[in-house]
Amino acid sequence: MGRLSGKIDFMAFMAQTEGARYFPALHNRDFRLLWIGQVISFSGTWMHATAQGWLVYSLTKSPLYLGIVSATAALPIMLFSLLGGAVADRFRKRNLLMLTQALSILPALAIGVLTQLGIIRVWEVILLVFLFGLINAFDVPARQSFYAELVERDTLQSAVALNSVAFNGARVSGPVIAGLTIAWVGLPACFYLNALSFLAVVLALYKINARQEEAAQAPKKSLAKEISEGMRFVGKEPAIRATLSMVGLFSLFAIPFITLLPVFAVKVLDSGPGGFGFLMGSAGAGALVGALGLAMRSVPGTRTSSLMRSSSIVFPVALLFFSLSKNFYLSASCLVMAGWGLISFLALANSSIQLKTSDVLRGRVMSVYTLVFLGLAPMGNLLMGWAAQLFGTPRTLAVASALCIGLGLLIGRRLEGRQT
């Protein structure tokens, strides 16, 4: 843990210098601790995901099982994220997160041990992936809503964006580290390192001061009534409802573009595996730039509203041009813009929703965000995959992008004048 401590000290020094004004959330010691822990944990998560895909394909030689495993990870979020939000509002979020992060160690270790012993079977992977998803159904709403208890209101957007920076940075580095680890040490090591990475978040949470733990709590009701209360609040808030509608629209029809990239790389752009990797990297680079741009400064409310609407249009427009392009470099450029638009919109939507929600309801409202964003993703992948099989991949993405542009403009009108 010496390296972690040294890194925290360095970040503390940076937070006290003029350069920290570009990342205002890093001024906050508690957020800084959690963010560094998440950088480590996200890297482990992407290592695990890369190794898990390799393991499943090695066991089955079937792309179908890769899809089944992906759907299994998201199923508990569809089923239990609303319950997870109610639990996050009922208990101290820091303690809940320490529990979920500690529990996440168990399935990672189990996959590692079973793989090392050479006795793992695909049904065991599916079972353990479901367990991961179940833990995430409680972890994600609590973690998303916890940022508002760590930072001031005017730096919440920076905190949410920095979380995206950590996630997308790990999205780039984690698979690379996993590939090297598999080649030099072996497949089980990726799972062991992921299990170890959760300890970084547990340690960070342990060191966070308790001064902001006590979020305002409403009188205890049944969990069902608390979930209903959160849903009613979302239904009565036009700006939140419109924002969530846009997130759901993208989850169903636009974000699944990632699963279609291999088809574009091979059949449309004739670029092979190397081209596929470059296309993925282009989208990731755009996402990272977008997240860094938002994390650098706190953006005034009027500018936030404008940027949120513009990024919600840039994303599907870039996808539309990508679906029509036959030139590899033009396609890669479109994906850079798509990655920027998607992450900019999601980070702004996340912080905007939280700023409009009271502490008492924040966990439940963010569980609805989690459900709409992550829970609908498997349905979107299935729908877009089915349509691509019937009508062709470029045509399917073009129609879906046009649909997102049209409906996005319609929903965007409801957001005008409602952003704070």
In this predicted model, what pLDDT tens digit does every residue of 175-187 receive, in sequence order? 778 888 888 888 8
Q: At what angle do helices 223-236 and 362-370 cross, to 10 degrees?
A: 80
Which regions of 73-133 does DSSP assign to beta strands (E)?
none
What is the spatial distance between Cα 326 and Cα 334, in angstroms, rounded to a whole number?
12
Give me the helices (H) in 254-327, please.
Answer: 257-263, 272-296, 301-324
Max Cα-Cα span within the chain: 61
In this predicted model, what pLDDT tens digit does every residue of 250-275 receive, in sequence order? 998 998 888 788 788 878 888 876 77
* pLDDT for 418: 52
What is the spatial distance between Cα 153 and Cα 228, in angstroms, rounded to a whole number?
26
Q: What is the full DSSP assignment across 30-86?
A: HHHHHHHHHHHHHHHHHHHHHHHHHHHHHHH--HHHHHHHHHHHHHHHHHHHHHHHH
What is the spatial distance between Cα 388 and Cα 280, in angstroms, rounded to a whole number?
19
* pLDDT for 124: 94
CA–CA distances in Å: residue 300 to residues 8, 28, 143: 29, 19, 24
Domains assigned to the chain: 1-207 (1.20.1250.20), 223-420 (1.20.1250.20)
* pLDDT for 405: 94
| pLDDT beneath 70, residues of the chain | 1-21, 63-64, 67, 210-220, 273, 277, 297-303, 414-420
What is the spatial distance between Cα 307 and Cα 12, in angstroms, rounded to a whole number?
30
Q: Which of 345, 311, 318 is nearest to 334 (CA)?
A: 318
Q: Which of 333, 411, 377 is nearest to 78 (CA)?
A: 377
Three-class secondary structure of residue 344 per DSSP: helix
Residues in the chain: 420
Q: Do the beta carbons of residue 386 and residue 259 sit within 8 Å?
A: no
* pLDDT for 215: 46
Angle at 202 (CA atoms; ends 196, 205), nearest 5 degrees: 155
Could you say which DSSP state residue 418 is in? T
What is the spatial distance between Cα 298 and Cα 312, in angstroms, rounded to a whole number?
19
| φ, ψ for residue 208, nearest 5 deg | -70, 135
Distance of CA 367 to the CA centre of its chain: 13
Burial of 296 (0-12, 13-18, 19+ CB in 10 A): middle
